[in-house]
């Protein structure tokens, strides 16, 4: 139903995997569900890497059924950073994606996309800030936590949890 070029998606993934620092021998599979225009995307496995992506997550909103390279880079890059984190024993042991509370999932996404932006890839900082504020509150504490997640490298899972919980603790009663 979509007019995506598998070779172009593969090229995006290979370029990002290398830039992110994933091992070159790590197998990466991207399963695109072309039967739905929805935009869900998740990491189903870290080793081997398996990304499950609904076609709407890769589609150009201004040219239906066509690949949006910038959007695909955002989605695939975020998920590859999640895979890298899960493969790094020093990162910690986050729960399975399906078990993550929305505030924690949002905080981790901010950290992943912030690093993607530091690689020079186009990212939507304001979109991520708004999403983060919806889960953590429109407070100075939430904005400070966001800035740390967005700008810092080498955060562990415990640090991400701490930033998320700290922001939520500052919510008015």
- Per-residue pLDDT tens digits for 109-140: 999 999 999 999 999 999 999 999 999 999 99
Helix or strand run (H / E) with residue 33: strand 28-33
Tokens of 73: 């880079």
Mean pLDDT of the chain: 94
pLDDT value of position 63: 83
* Mean pLDDT on 13-27: 96
Share of the chain above pLDDT 70, in %: 99
Which residues on adjacent β-strands are paired with residue 53? 32, 41
Helix (H) or strand (E) holding 29, with range, is strand 28-33
Tokens of 41: 């995307």
Tokens 């020093």 correspond to 90
Confidence of residue 35 (pLDDT cuts 50, 70, 90): confident
Identify the pLDDT of residue 62. 85
Cα–Cα nearest to 96, from 44, 153, 23: 44
What confidence category does residue 104 fall into, taking pLDDT thresholds of 50, 70 and 90? very high
Minimal CA–CA distance to 80: which of 28, 7, 40? Answer: 28
Is 1's pLDDT higher than 80?
no
Measured between alpha carbons, how far is 30 from 124 in angstroms, rounded to an integer? 23
Say what percent of the chain tops pLDDT 90: 82
pLDDT tens digits along 66-94? 888 999 999 999 999 999 999 999 999 99
Q: How far is CA 64 from CA 7, 55, 68, in A?
A: 19, 10, 9
Query: By the 8 A CB rule, do 60 and 67 touch?
Result: yes
Are 76 and 13 spatial neighbours (Cβ–Cβ below 8 Å)? yes
pLDDT, position 36: 84
CATH topology of domain 6-87: Zincin-like (3.30.2010)
């Amino acid at each position: 139903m979509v007019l995506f070029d598998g070779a172009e998606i593969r090229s995006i993934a290979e370029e990002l995997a290398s830039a992110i620092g994933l091992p070159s021998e790590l197998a990466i599979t991207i399963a695109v569900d072309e039967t739905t225009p929805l935009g869900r995307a998740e990491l189903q496995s870290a080793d081997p890497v398996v990304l499950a992506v609904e076609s709407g997550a890769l589609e150009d909103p201004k040219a239906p059924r066509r690949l949006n390279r910038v959007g695909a880079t955002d989605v695939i890059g975020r998920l590859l950073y999640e895979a890298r984190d899960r493969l790094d024993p020093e990162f910690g042991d986050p729960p399975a994606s399906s078990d993550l509370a929305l505030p924690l999932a949002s905080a981790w996404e901010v950290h992943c996309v912030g690093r993607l932006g530091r690689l020079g890839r186009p990212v939507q900082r304001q979109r991520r800030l708004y999403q983060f504020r919806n889960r953590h509150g429109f407070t100075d504490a939430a904005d400070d936590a966001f800035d740390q997640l967005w700008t810092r490298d080498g955060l562990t899972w415990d640090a991400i949890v701490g930033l998320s919980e700290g922001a939520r603790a500052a919510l008015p009663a």
